[in-house]
Chains A and B, each alone.
Chain A
Amino acid sequence: MFGYYISLALRSLRGTPVLSALMIAAIAVGVGASMTVLTLNYMMSQNALEHKDDVLYAVQLDSWDVNKAYDSPNELPRQITYRDAQALLRSDIPTRQVAMHRFGFTVELRDSPVLPFTASTRVTTRDFFSLFDVPFIYGGTWEKEADTSATQVVVLSKSTNDKLFSGENSVGKTISLNAEPFTVIGVIDHWQPAPNIHDLNNSHFAQSAKLFIPFGLHREYEIYSWGNTNGWNSERPDGYEGFLQGENIWIQYWVELSSSEQKGQYEDFLTAYIRGEKAQGRFERPLKFALSKPSEWLVLNEVLSDDNRVLGWVSLAFLLVCVINAVALLLAKFLRKAPEAGVRRALGASRSAIFTQHLIESAAIGMIGGIAGIFIAVLGISGIRHLAMGQMDTVATMDWVMMIAAVGLALIASLLAGFYPAWRISRTNPSIYLKTQ
């Protein structure tokens, strides 16, 4: 019976080619446009740390200006000061903890044809790789001492290792960073969270770092942040040490707390720390800090912007218009075939049989429209990549989940569209049509 309905549906579609093409086009364009935007929004809402959402926390402390709260959704600065980072690092409560910021070096390899280049660098602590689940191809992270004292070692990204050493095991080799020798101790595999949840300060969809160096190198090289440095207090103590001990915020801080008990201990630790600093005249605002899960952190950083949400709603409304359009056209089409349905009813087809038959015809339109919609969406997404000028390359891609979703959406849309017309036609009174023939 099902096969028969499908062949009936296809015959009916061929019978009214213009109307059918119109309906398929309406569904395809509606699905294509909404899938383009929804795919983008879906990719932007991805949480690369979802599997650790219960144990990882971004740390925020309110060290800001007593006269004015920080301008963020929870009124807490998104980064912390260097001196607070150093103090927090001394705690042994978290299973793992990471203090870090973005930096940049010039990279040279002696006696190599590779020209010197600049490389985005992450200055971080040794737990970075295990906390964020960054896989190593060769070697591993640095020793704990390197987080506090200057040790000239470096971990390369896969692309940097490919560029400098053609992908060979480079552990133990030496490269020059700002003309200083650094020993390669590890090479990581391709690692590109999108959005790059670990550092949402600048571009949300930027490329990951090309080099990773230990947190103990600041004083040796007078390292400043290549990300954001925000300040409120213009009393500048002298020299680089003054910068490090000052109130500028430029360090991102993450902790891994495996149980609620551990989290409680850490909250107590933070409270005690802020009280201690308050006693010394810092942290003049009311005592406030926040530990945000990765999923909360994405929201706090407004990764999915208002514009994205507007586009999402507009595309859904557009799809709705397309569906209503299809309802009207299907109604017209089915009612034109009412005599045919009348004859089938007279020959013994039940109302539900007529209903099913017409619903299957709508579903056929939805299938074809959905598949055409995928092509439109792929086209739309490549258009967005082009318009974003490379700033959305890591998120403007379509995965198989979204492809299936596209066909699913088209099917649901066309079944919704077909429901009322199919019901109308199944209610036709056969006698009227038999009389007039």
Chain B
Amino acid sequence: MLELKPMLSALWRNKASALLIALQLALTLAIISNIVVIVQDRIEKIERPTGITVEDIIALNFMAIPQNYDMTGAIAADLELLRALPYVKDATVTNQVPLSQSGSAGTFYTQPNQEIGGENSNYYNTDPHFIDTLGLNLVAGRNFTDAEIQFSDPNESPEIAVALVTQQFAEKLYPGQDPIGKPLFDGSGSNPIEIIGVVERHLGAWVGWSNAGNVAFFPSIKNTQDTNYLIRTEPGKRDQVLKALVQKLSERDPQRVIKTKVLSEYVARSYARDNLMVKVLSIVAAMLSFIVALGIVGLTIFWINQRAKQIGVRRALGATRTNISRYFLLENSLIAGTGIAIGSAAALIVNQSMVRDYSQPELTLMPLAICALLVLLVSLAAALTPAIRAANISPATATRSV
């Protein structure tokens, strides 16, 4: 490469500007590659399958006004009413709304009176309609029946005999074994709860929990002051059903305060922070690339103006337009290459602290290489127009002003 030596000496004369560009590209690469792994991680988290047909479900919470309210009776009457409504596919009662960030969890064991080595799991107190209402996939065993539902006061511990669990939770409790028929112990108690069915997947109440996906379902209804219903509608009829819902239930029994929310809103709220992270970081990455590109455009134009005479002389001495453009693009690649080398090292160093101090995902070589390529492309694209313009400088310019 014949041009390399004069190029280096030209760069040396402009070392401050060249260094500043290389530094910008290095920082940009360090920032963007770390942003990319974080954003990728969050998008994967948000797009995890929930196991639920989220879009067709309405969540309804009601709180009884009188202190000694017959909640059990109200639930039976309400569910009958709800299931008979037009466009309603099914309805269920539950102690918590899925993906709502609020719910119950406990530690479960495989042996009676065990004190250590339990598995934490989210749990539902619900009825047999839960599976159909949420569209869960029962992959083994059977659903529970109405007869198995235990009714109890909030102060009592009901004698629960059967449970459904998610595949993930079953695998944690009984790795590599068929969980059907195996016992489950709530806390360090001694009453076995028989696992009668396994559902393919359910994320549970908390999307950010380290044990998300560990879920147990118990046939249990508690006589509390407030409760939740989940209502699944025909596809596309959700909003129509939502409008009629509160009025129908209030007509049956006005002694309560009823609130409704569609499940998709709960989900959006649960992921709001991850979504915020994705959006803010993406915007920063985009702005960063843009600003750096503009800077390179500005500086290359400046250099070319400064060296207009030299370009003219080279053209007069027989350099082709391609020679001139290639010169500036090569010069740019040289700077970008330096920046990328420094940036890759910086990216890995920064990522170490991101992983260690802020529990963010690890940056592997593949995304780093892709980001480096992107930074090189942005840098070359920014230099392209000025380089072509440089080639258009006529040899006459040089001769005129000397």
Contact = CB atoms under 8 A, between A and B. Distances in A.
A135 interface: no
A327 B21 CA distance: 10
Contact of B358 (A22, A37, A310): A310
Contacts of B295: 22, 26, 325, 328-329
Contacts of A36: 280
B276 A424 contact: no
Contacts of B64: 106, 178
Contacts of A307: 273, 277, 358
Contacts of A202: 102
**Chain A interface residue count: which class?**
35 or more
Interface stretch (B27-35, B168-176, B365-373, B388-396): B27-35
Contacts of A335: 302, 306
Interface string A13-51: 000001100100110011001001100000000000000
Interface string B289-313: 0011011001100110110000000
Interface string A310-336: 110011011011101101110111011
A387 B302 contact: no
A391 B298 CA distance: 42
Nearest to B224: A224
A139 B31 CA distance: 56
A232 B303 CA distance: 70
Interface residues of B, number: 65
Interface string A297-316: 00000000011011100110
27 contacts: A29-B291, A33-B284, A36-B280, A37-B280, A104-B63, A106-B257, A118-B259, A178-B64, A178-B67, A231-B187, A234-B186, A235-B189, A238-B156, A239-B155, A239-B156, A314-B35, A320-B27, A324-B23, A328-B21, A328-B299, A331-B16, A332-B299, A336-B305, A387-B272, A387-B279, A391-B273, A420-B16
A67 interface: yes
Nearest to A65: B115
B399 interface: no
A22 B294 contact: yes
Contacts of B277: 307, 310-311
Contacts of B31: 314, 317-318, 321
A375 interface: no
A157 B253 CA distance: 29
Contact of A336 (B24, B65, B67, B302): B302
Interface in B60-78: 63-67
- Prevailing SS type, chain A contact patch: helix
A329 B298 contact: yes
B383 to A, nearest CB: 14
B345 interface: no
A336 B63 CA distance: 74
A413 to B, nearest CB: 13
Contacts of B189: 234-235
Interface string B8-43: 000000001100110110011011001100100000
Contacts of A328: 17, 20-21, 24, 295, 298-299
Nearest to A238: B155
A36 B280 CA distance: 10
A385 to B, nearest CB: 10
Contacts of B273: 307, 388, 391
A243 interface: yes
A321 B35 CA distance: 15
User: Lowest 6 CB-CB distances: which A-B pairs, in order?
Assistant: A234-B187, A332-B302, A328-B20, A306-B358, A325-B295, A387-B276
A437 interface: no
A324 B294 CA distance: 13
A116 interface: yes
Contacts of A116: 65, 257
Q: Which of A25, A108, A306, A310 has the most CB of B within 10 A?
A: A310
Given A106-B64, A106-B256, A67 B299 contact: no
A179 interface: yes
A269 interface: no
Interface in B97-145: 102, 106-107, 115-116
Contact of A324 (B27, B259, B306): B27
Contacts of B303: 332
Interface string B242-278: 0000000000000011010000000011001101110
A388 B276 contact: yes
Nearest to A66: B115
Interface string B175-200: 00000000000111100000000000
Contacts of B291: 25-26, 29-30, 321-322, 325
Contact of B298 (A22, A180, A420): A22
B152 to A, nearest CB: 12
B375 to A, nearest CB: 12
